[in-house]
Structure 1
Amino acid sequence: MTSTAKKNWKRMFSGPASGLLETDPEFAQFFADFAFDEVPLQDDLDDRSRMMAILAALIGSQSTETFEAMLPAALGLGVTPVEAREIVYQAAAYLGIGRTLPFLQAANRVFTAQGISLPLPAQSTTSPDIRLEQGEQVQVDIFGEQMREFSKSGPEESRHINRWLSSNCFGDYYTRTGLDNRQREMITFCLLAAQGGCEPQLISHAAANIRIGNRRPFLVKVISQCLPYIGYPRSLNALQCLRKAVEQ
């Protein structure tokens, strides 16, 4: 590996470089040189944002083993246990519990191994009586005034889905402390980009990111840092969705 790749590896991980150096030395070398040297040096995205984006991308791409390996590195680079847990919790709204539960279990294994007491401090700020109202207000804050009374919109047969989006997706998740709206929208962008097949939602959330201050250059940096973990097709799709959001 290059000296920079070795330096970044040591900064992130406490163990040996990789077992792949023994079984697949050529692959281990050029991947490490790319992911831990060339890609981080591409831009000035701060460590904490980069690691939060990578964790979300690994969840979106269903990379449980790599997530469990990367989480200690993220914690070492400034991501707090609460922030890491909130990333996993939020994934349930975009991937469903079946694809999220393994990551919650992996995160808890890491926390336990590091001596972090569970459960972590509660972050909820809503109650059953106000989650709909608070969730819809978050939608307005992020997407704009056109989201006012979104929960009452749409055909009657599917209106409950819009209500759930307001009360559950935004009212249960986005209203939690531990992450702010800009961080949550970046995470959502990564979750959608990494799982693929969600291009309409990815365009919408790219526009939402831009609206609340995560500008196009920032999102390009986020995509770039996630690329080694999600591959070129989904990264290129994310760039195309970002361009469409800017055009709109």
Structure 2
Amino acid sequence: MTISNFAKKYNEKMFPNHESKLLKTDPEFVELFDNFTFDEVTNQNDLDGHTKFMAVLATLIGCQGIDEYKLMLEAAYNFEVTPIEMKEIVYQSVAYLGIGRVRPFLDATNYFLTQKGIKLPLEGQSTTNKDNRVEKGNEVQVKIFGEGMKGFQNSGDEDTRHINYWLAGNCFGDYYTRTGLNYKQREMITVCFLLAQGGCETQLKSHILGNFNVGNDKEFLIKVVSQCMPFIGYPRTLNAINCIKEVASKFKTV
């Protein structure tokens, strides 16, 4: 086998003293995948490992890659993604995928952290309560998407206005107001949830704009998508890049 020295060292950092079972059953595949993912792709840009593995975890939740997610928890941990950051990624994903798809990832994360000797529950990160969550959530919407979002919770047709109310109070008021991740990180992982699902291009474009508004520029998002490509494949990667470029071309004219 001719796995590159860089890929070997990167694997050792992700998984110290671990030997993949696939080395015995699928050595040719391991050579192809590791040389590409953990050498060529990794060296394509300068995205730091901590950010990369936060994005990878969010992407794997988005594409429902539970087995790979379990493996990448170890890699993320060794690239200093903290237990709180792991939990915040999973918690926020519920707003974009629903608990039906997220439960296995929450269970996997809890098991991983327990195996690491980390006591659960972790320190609480909530900053809102039932009385102010809608107001505080809308304030976050305005900070990320602009003054046009002011009062969003009361907008829309009467028969669907409750969804806008929930978006303000639940998606943003319950999750985005939490400590543990900042707005730039939260908008990045949201893009990862959406691009990995596919079929969410309308929402993806909205959150690409949100990323631009909080300081995650076009070049940064393309770096993120590029590092996640081996985990989601080319079609969804290319769709995401097209959305980034489309929003960027309009963003420059605003």
Tell me the TM-score normalized by structure 2: 0.96
Structure 2, unmatched stretches of 5+, are none
1:236 equivalent to 2:242? Answer: no
Q: Which residue of 2 aligns with 1:217?
A: 219
Q: CA–CA distance in 1 between the matches of 2:153 and 2:246?
A: 26
Q: Could you say which residue in structure 2 is the equivalent of 1:49?
A: 51
Once the 2 structures are TM-superposed, how far is the Cα of residue 78 of structure 1 from its aligned partner? 1.1
Task: Give how far 1:21 is off.
Answer: 1.4
Q: What residue is the counterpart of 1:207 in the other structure?
A: 209
Counterpart Cα distance in 1 of 2:83 and 2:30: 29
Equivalent AA in structure 2 for residue 241 of structure 1: C
Alpha-carbon distance in 2 for matches of 1:183, 1:59 = 16
1:14-71 superposed Cα distances (whole Å, 9 cap, x missing partner): 2434211111111111001011111110011011100000000000000111111111
User: What CA distance in whole angstroms lies between the structure 2 residues aligned with 1:146 and 1:3?
Assistant: 52
User: Alpha-carbon deviation of 1:216?
Assistant: 0.4
CA RMSD, 1 decimal: 0.7
State yes or no: 1:132 paired with 2:134: yes
1:59-106 CA-partner distances (Å, limit 9, x unpaired): 000011111111121111111100010000000000000000100000
Distance 2:14 2:64 in 1: 21
Q: What is the SS of the residue equivalent to 1:111?
A: helix
Residues 196-224 of structure 1, C-alpha deviations (whole Å, 9 max, x = no match): 11000001100110111000000000000
Aligned pairs (5 A) from 1:1-248: 1-248=3-250
TM-score, normalization: structure 1?
A: 0.99
**Aligned residue identity for 2:113:** F
> What per-residue deviation string (whole Å, max 9, x for no partner) do you get for residues 173-196 of structure 1?
000000000000000000000011
SS in 1 for 2:159: helix
Letter of the 2:134 partner, please give it: L
User: For 1:148 and 1:15, how far apart are their aligned partners in 2?
Assistant: 52
- Give the length in aligned residue pairs: 248
Kept in 2, the 8 Å contact 1:9–1:17? The answer is no
Unmatched 5+ stretches in structure 1: none
Q: Percent identity?
A: 56
Superposed displacement of residue 246, structure 1: 1.0
